[in-house]
Amino acid sequence: MTEKLHVDLSGAPQTMLATFYAKALDAGLPDPILGDRFAKEIVDRIDYDWTRTSITAANSPSVTTRSAHFDDWARQFLVLHPKAVVLHLGCGLDSRVFRIDPGSDVEWYDVDYPEVAELRRQLYPERDHYHVISASVTDPAWFGEIPRDRPILMLGEGLTMYLAEQDGVALLRRVVEHAPSGELQFDAFNTLGIKSQWMNPVVRRSGATLYWAIDGPDDVLEAVPGTRLLAWVSAIESDTFTKLPGYYRLMVNVMSRAKVLRYMASYHRYAFGPVNASMTSP
């Protein structure tokens, strides 16, 4: 029997175990939303008490609908930019590069804390044009490894809310200044989402803290020169949300009739560079 990998994380790095477990549970459902076979296979190779994540099959869609949404947006970008660079920031144990399986002209970089990056190296196979960077996403040093002459897609799923605002803004500006063109795709919590973090069991149990509230596109457009809005979508208005059972959608929609609740969690998509370099359809 293969010895399992022991995991001992806390704070923000620990939250990635919850999102990963949600994908593993989803993969075992009769009608999965994401169908991530890697998560299903890998979860049994990790020595961890998964009950600590507070994730169950019933609440796993809060993660998998989001991941499916960003998979769709990423695929749209790569269809138009088949020689792009992808920066998957705060990647955790997500298998997105394997789910999307980009062409051989795409250079893909997964970036996360050293302890998380080391787990990835032990759990996932190597592939051509795929790189794992061991660093905090806010450390500017690792940008030295990234090509500057290609369009860049920055993916930040479950990332921005864990950053201090000044660090988050600096990161987005760094991406925009690094490449000739590209897109920023990420999700965010508004002020209510940050203030009510004590109600989020994943955050509470990990000991993590949420910091950066983004209340709408203007917050980003004003802070990051050169960006333009492509899409701003409430998490419950995403196309992937329609994959949920009717009773689940009804419950959430009733709770979220007020705009501040509806946009408590939202998906953001911005372009930068020449207009003709990023003509994607949100």
pLDDT for 7 equals 80
pLDDT for 108 equals 98
Q: Tell which wins on pLDDT, 132 or 15.
A: 132
**Which pTM was predicted?**
0.92
Mention every residue, 6+ apart, whose C-beta is less than 8 A from residue 84: 77, 78, 106, 107, 150, 151, 152, 153, 182
Number of residues that this document lists for the chain: 282
- Which of the listed ranges 11-20, 74-83, 112-121, 238-247 does the model predict with the highest average pLDDT? 74-83
Domain presence at residue 36 = no
Q: What is the CATH number of the domain that holds 247?
A: 3.40.50.150
At residue 198, the 3 state secondary structure works out as helix
Domain presence at residue 145 = yes
Q: Which residue carries 């477990």 as its tokens?
A: 21
pLDDT for 261 equals 80
* Structural domain containing residue 202: 61-277
pLDDT-derived band at 256, boundaries 50, 70, 90: low
Q: Is the pLDDT of residue 67 over 90?
A: yes
Domain presence at residue 73 = yes
Domain presence at residue 46 = no
Domain presence at residue 89 = yes
Domain presence at residue 42 = no
Q: Which residue carries 């459902």 as its tokens?
A: 29
Domain presence at residue 192 = yes
List pLDDT tens digits, range 43-64. 989 988 888 888 888 888 889 9
Q: Could you give the C-alpha distances from 239 to 37, 65, 192, 235, in angstroms and in order?
A: 22, 9, 24, 9
At residue 224, the 3 state secondary structure works out as coil
Q: Of all helices (H) and strands (E), which one includes residue 204?
A: helix 201-206
How many domains is the chain built from?
Answer: 1
Question: Which amino acid makes up residue 42?
Answer: I
Domain presence at residue 122 = yes
Q: Tokens for 92, please give them.
A: 């955790």
Q: Is 13 exposed, middle or buried (0-12, 13-18, 19+ CB in 10 A)?
A: buried
pLDDT for 102 equals 97
